[in-house]
């Protein structure tokens, strides 16, 4: 069974947050809206996977923040 688009979006966002966490050990202390903006910047930066980009490129930082609130891997 194919995953729902929202589940795919959450997985991609989780992966980006994991990457950000490795780059910034103090990420735990950063507020969620700032993390959502950081995720948005990663999505729209260079070198992002084309297939994943098609799934999340239309999300705003507010959308990302909402998706972050529905899973436990963040913040």
Confidence of residue 2 (pLDDT cuts 50, 70, 90): confident
Residue 67 has a CB neighbour count (10 Å cut-off) of 20
More confident residue, 75 or 39: 39
**Residue 11: pLDDT over 70:** yes
pLDDT digits (tens, 9 = 90+) for 36-74: 999 999 999 988 889 999 999 999 999 999 999 875 455
Q: What is the DSSP letter of 27?
A: G
Helices (H), the chain: 5-23, 32-43, 50-56, 61-68
pLDDT, average across residues 9-27? 95
Which burial class, exposed, middle or buried, applies to 52 when counting CB atoms under 10 A from its CB (0-12, 13-18, 19+)? Answer: middle
**Residue-level pLDDT at 71:** 56
């Amino acid at each position: 069974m194919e995953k729902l688009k929202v589940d795919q979006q959450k997985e991609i966002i989780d992966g980006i947050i994991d990457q950000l966490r490795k780059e910034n050990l103090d990420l735990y202390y950063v507020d969620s809206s700032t993390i959502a903006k950081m995720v948005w910047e990663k999505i729209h930066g260079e070198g992002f996977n084309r297939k994943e980009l098609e799934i999340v490129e239309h999300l705003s930082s507010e959308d990302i923040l909402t998706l972050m609130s529905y899973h436990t891997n963040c913040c």
